[in-house]
Amino acid sequence: MATFAKPENALKRAGELINVGQHLDALMALHSLITSRRYRAWQKPLENIMFKYVELCVVLRKGRFAKDGLIQYRIVCQQVNVNSLEEVIKHFMHLATEKAEAARNQAQALDEALDVEDLEADKRPEDLMLSYVSGEKGKDRSDRELVTPWFKFLWETYRTVLEILRNNSKLEALYAMTAHRAFQFCKQYKRTTEFRRLCEIIRNHLANLNKYRDQRDRPDLSAPESLQLYLDTRFEQLKIATELELWQEAFRSVEDIHALMCMVKKTPKASLMVVYYAKLTEIFWISGSHLYHAYAWLKLFSLQKSFNKNLSQKDLQMIASSVVLAALSVVPFDHTHGASHAELENDKERNLRMANLINFNLDPKLDNREMLSRSALLSELVSKGVMSCASPEVKDLFHVFEHEFLPLDIAARVQPLLGKISKLGGKLATASSVPEVQLSKYLPSLEKLATLRLLQQVSQVYQTITIESLSRMIPFFDFSVVEKISVDAVKHNFITMKVDHMNGAVLFGSVDLESDTLRGHLAIVAEGLNKAWAMIYPSVKKSSKIADILPGLGDMVEKEHLKLLARKTLIEKRKEEQERQLLEMEREEESKRLKLQKITEEAEKARLISEVEQRKRERILRDIQQREIEEAQALLQEAEKRTKKKGKKPILEGEKVTKEILMEMQRTEQEKEKQEMEKKLQKLAKQMDHLERAKREEAAPLIEAAYQQRLVEEKIIHEREQEKEVELSRQRHEGDLQEKNRMSRMLESKRVFEQQVIHRRQEEYDRLRQEKEERIRQILQARKQERELKRKMLFFLKTEEERLRKQQEEEEARKREEAERKKKEEAERKAKLDEIAEKQRQREREAEEKERLRRESLLGRSTEPFSRPSDPLGNAQPVPAVAAPAATPAPGKYVPRHLRQQPAVGPAPPPELDRWGGGRRDDRPATDRWRNDSSRSFGGGSRDDRRPPGGSGSGSGSGSTWSSSRNSRVSA
């Protein structure tokens, strides 16, 4: 392996080898430099080396070398200068394309030259046998050998570039451009096999992008620029697949686009979605899925109507007609009739998958018949107004097929409409993304639908009809085709018919008793008869005798039922508790396992990191040692070369020396060479000095003679130039005088024009100055008015604020005065009430004192015998004498207890009728009672309420009676 001190030396060496025709050696030299570890830092010469390297790879058709070199160069400039890698790859693809085009131009029969099924396959055995057997190769084989290798190399170039640029965020644009160029290559040369491989490569790249999310420089699909590049690539893939008629690959491309949209959860632009649904319509039509084809047309119609503002009415009518005819082309019977459960599940899954592709939201829990169906589609066409936009012929055809019942005339009504519809279609001018619309392609499906409708309606009218009559009623097909159509309809339970070729008749309906229709009718009749029987002869419910036998059975059953329910509830609670405990144990075990796993992973990660660091250090040490050994070997080789040139033998062997010894030897050798070189230079300088002195001595007289000759020649030239200059000056002076005379005639006109211009500009200036002053004056006046208005507004606001503040202060002062006045009145009222209460208490005390004195006087008088004097009126009765054991003490004198408790001798006292309200009424005025109550409420609450107030008047009598009666009770 050759080593170079600088990259430029490798480039020079490659150029020398190319000049002598050794292209392979030049490629190997550059390859060794590019793959060397010494040049891992990017520098400008490496880019020039890569340009030359890819040129040699293209010339020699070395695709593997090109791939290795580009991978190494990507590693070098990935983080420093990605644009350099982009330029190199563009140059590489440009050279490969040029070579392939040049080879194609040299070939005379391109179709035969490119008649190879697989560019990656080797030569076929028959070609090898033909090349060896035939002595002279034909022109076709020569073209094949000339063109096919270059196209193989071009295809390998595209694959290499895509592999190098995959999943790199800094090279997304170049990746997309390469994919587009590869698609165009497949389209231009009809390379279907390579196109499939290319689609699979791009699909694998996207899968790896989602799989390895922690990859460095990974593209971010959530970014709008990256998403747009990926979508453009997928849509270009879809377009090329449909143009090459690779419908299976086109459908996979549609799935790729839908997966990409689901991945980023963003809907592309409306223009791209139009292309998406347009291609879906083609794919579904080719695959025979007319229902999905109609749904795709419906989505395409909605997009065009919503987002295409330039859509003309004619184009909108054409698209709407396509939607309606596509919906009518769907067969009117259900294909899932009689299918197995597995087939129904597969059909449901397919419907969900297609609905997702068409962007129709469906509930997966619904029945399969309630998902995508012909009836639901027709209802949606009517509800969304598609029918109103369709052409009149299409509307009439829809009405005939779906709403009219014409078993004998349906073919006559449909045939002219189909003839008009077949002439409609063409390219849409205002909808460039929509393909050319040809309504004539729906004619076979519409004729089949007309046949099915005719058979359905005829089966409802006739039970038997001749084959000849039925053939005349269906002019679209022969009876053999009608028979095939009817077989599918009968299979899917759309109609019930039999063909009797022996009698030449068609039988509608079925005479079999086990047919579905007759069995359904018999079931309905049986249910009706059962209901009638139940109404005529109602069943009599017999009373149960169990209740008589076991009277407590109901309560027992109820109790047992409650016990069972309670036991069931308890069991369920225990189960739930057990499950909860198990769940908690599982959670704890899971958390412990996760913690242990995390600790293990961290330990493993730390171990891996330490191992990586250790390996890195070991690798660095090995590299250093290897580099030192290589440098020592290089120094030894140079020393051997120098010693061989000088005729000396090497002193030491290369295996026994070290780098330090070699460097010391090199340093000594360099010192010797330097000294020898200095001696040589001194000797050479002395020789050059003598030689230069001799040359100057010989050249001095020659230089003097040449100088004198040059003086003479320059003097002659100077005189000649001076004469020429004088003549030119004289001519210019004469011309200037003539020009002055000519221009002097216009001097007056010039002055007048100048005055006019100055006067006009002065007037314009004055006018503009006056306008400016007027404008300034108006602005100043407006500002003055604005300031005046602002000052007035501020004064008004300030005055209003002051007024509100004063009003608020007055209100607060008034409230304070009112509160003080109320407080003062309350204090006065309380003082008055206190004074009244005090007076009342004083009167009560005086009354109590009087009452006490009166009681004491009464008690004193009741103990002494007395005789009442005669009544002056003569009505007095004799009072019997009362024997007193002792003399009555005087009022206020102390009476002993033994004297007070002795009973008096004499008649009993009168009955106390007034104690409980009898005998005497309370003759106190109402005012006294109110006063007593009020006095008790304000200040007399401490005394006895039953005690009458003291004083004179009629109240004293009742009070004395009450007191005497109480004293008599005490005495008793």
Q: pLDDT digit string (tens) for 313-359?
A: 888 888 888 888 888 888 887 766 656 666 777 777 777 777 777 77
What span, in angstroms and rounded, lies between the C-alpha atoms of 902 and 971? 8
Segments of the chain with pLDDT less than 70:
1-5, 7, 38-41, 107-145, 213-215, 217, 335-342, 360-371, 429-435, 510-521, 539-553, 639, 642-659, 860-972
**CB count, 10 Å around CB of 687?**
10
Q: Which residues pair with 633 in a beta bridge?
A: none
E-only strand ranges, 2-58: none
Residue length of the chain: 972
Q: In whole angstroms, give the CA distance from residue 332 to residue 488.
A: 11
For the chain, helix, strand, coil in percent to 5 are: 75, 0, 25
If residue 74 lies in a helix (H) or strand (E), which one and from where to where? helix 63-77
Task: List helix spans (H) across 166-288.
Answer: 172-188, 192-211, 224-243, 247-264, 270-287
Q: What's the predicted TM-score (pTM) here?
A: 0.49
Nearest to residue 337, comparing CAs of 490, 484, 529? Answer: 490
The predicted structure's pLDDT at residue 4: 66
Residue 915 confidence (pLDDT): 43
Separation CA 307–CA 210 (nearest Å):
33
CA distance between the termini of the chain: 154
**What pLDDT, on the 0 to 100 scale, is given for residue 432?**
59
pLDDT tens, residue by residue, 394-414: 888 888 888 888 888 888 888
Name the residue type at position 43.
Q
Q: Tell me, what amino acid is at 756?
A: Q
Sign of the torsion formed by the C-alpha atoms of 654, 657, 663 and 668: negative
Q: What is the structure's pLDDT at 129? A: 53
Closest-CA residue to 267 (of 241, 242, 233, 303):
303
Q: How far apart are CA 432 and CA 430, in angstroms?
A: 6
The pLDDT value given to residue 360: 66
Per-residue CA distances from 395 to 321, 429, 612, 776, 881 (Å) = 8, 23, 76, 73, 144
Q: Strand 505-508 to strand 497-500: parallel, antiparallel, or no bridges (unpaired)? A: antiparallel
Question: Cα separation of 791 and 950, whole Å?
Answer: 84
What is the per-residue pLDDT for 284? 85
Judge contact between 486 and 455, C-beta under 8 A.
yes
Q: Which amino acid is at 495?
A: I
The pLDDT value recorded for residue 80 is: 74
Q: How many helices (H) and strands (E) does the chain have?
A: 31, 5
Give pLDDT, residue 810.
Answer: 93
Helix axes 341-358, 270-287, angle to 10 degrees: 150
Taken in order 758, 760, 766, 768, the sign of the CA dihedral is negative
Contact (CB, 8 A) for 81 and 42: yes
